[in-house]
Amino acid sequence: MVTEEQIKKIGSVLNNKERPLKERFRALFTLKNLGGEDAIGEISRAFADDSALLKHELAYCLGQMQDKKALDILTKVLEDTAQEPMVRHEAAEAMGAIGDASIIPILEKYKNDPVVEVSETCSIALDRVKWIQSGQSVDDTNPYASVDPSPPAENKSVVELKAIYLDPKQSLFDRYRAMFSLRNLRTEEAVLAITEGLKDSSALFRHEVAFVLGQLQAPCSIPFLKENLEDRLENEMVRHECAEALGAIATDECIDILSRYAEDEKRVVKESCVIALDMCEYENSPEFQYADGLLNLKK
């Protein structure tokens, strides 16, 4: 049993700006895994930080915890226009992941937000909440432990799924559904189909594509992720997600690419590469778990 005192100690690592970002990330994921009201409280305190990357990850973790107690702080973050677009977007996505009907009015309001990543995310989150509320059963063949922004589509061939996935006339929700079905197939053909989404016109869509490629950890996707990371005109939210995907794949080539961008002029990209290199180290080590905040308390 983890005590309140231990959670506070892990929270103090997360909220200490003097600690290396990689340590703070590991503390965050420890709190996510522990769950509960105290962990949510410690995570919520960190929204006062000046790192957009960290705040975006806070929102992601709160969504994955699927605890309604996080909805108040996530709503505040979404409503706070002083927060960076990638942070507000992630707060909206997290609200959709929690999936409670009480958030429908706030998502309806912000689906017309002037920031396109925020408005698109609210639209997808609304579709997810309404889908859950309609009582449809989830045919969830998700081999990953993630709570996705949409359920997978019905079983179709790669060709059929790819046609929906790449069709800009389809809703983002349905295109996401096709993407998650392609991901769940875990074949090289499906991975290569997914990489084509990195050229989509929507930055939100491209960033989710990169996230999914990070889950798949397929070396065949490296050249495509590298191309978007290296494009200095690319949206920083997309470049960040490409960096973290390369960190999950963790080959020598990935380490080389990430090392080159660990001093990028965009803070979000630079910090993402630092976190991704820490992930590479973890993937290539005998360490038992990435979220090692409890272990570090014993040192």
* 208 carries a ligand binding annotation: yes
* 18 carries a ligand binding annotation: no
Roughly how many angstroms between the first and final C-alpha of the chain, as a whole number? 18
* 241 carries a ligand binding annotation: yes
* 57 carries a ligand binding annotation: yes
* 244 carries a ligand binding annotation: no
* 56 carries a ligand binding annotation: yes
Whole-angstrom distance, CA of residue 224 vs CA of residue 196? 8
Residue 193 dihedral angles phi and psi, to the nearest 5°: -65, -40
Burial per residue of 83-118, b for 16 or more beta-carbon CB atoms within 10 angstroms, e otherwise: bbbbbbbbbbbbbbbbbeeebeebbeebbebeeebb
Q: Where are the alpha helices (DSSP H) in the chain?
A: 4-14, 21-34, 37-45, 52-65, 71-79, 85-98, 104-110, 116-133, 158-165, 172-185, 188-195, 203-216, 222-230, 236-249, 252-260, 267-283, 293-297
| CB-count burial class (<10 Å; 0-12, 13-18, 19+) for 246 | buried
* 160 carries a ligand binding annotation: no
Tell me which residue of 296, 250, 240, 242 sits closest to 277, measured CA to CA. Answer: 250
Whole-angstrom distance, CA of residue 299 vs CA of residue 295? 7
Greatest Cα pair distance, the chain, in angstroms, is 55
Tell me which residue of 218, 172, 170, 225 sits closest to 196, measured CA to CA. Answer: 225
Contact 182, 165 (CB under 8 A): yes
Contact 74, 94 (CB under 8 A): yes
* 227 carries a ligand binding annotation: no
Contact 45, 11 (CB under 8 A): yes
Binding-site positions for Fe cation: 56-57, 89-90, 207-208, 240-241
Binding-site positions: 56-57, 89-90, 207-208, 240-241
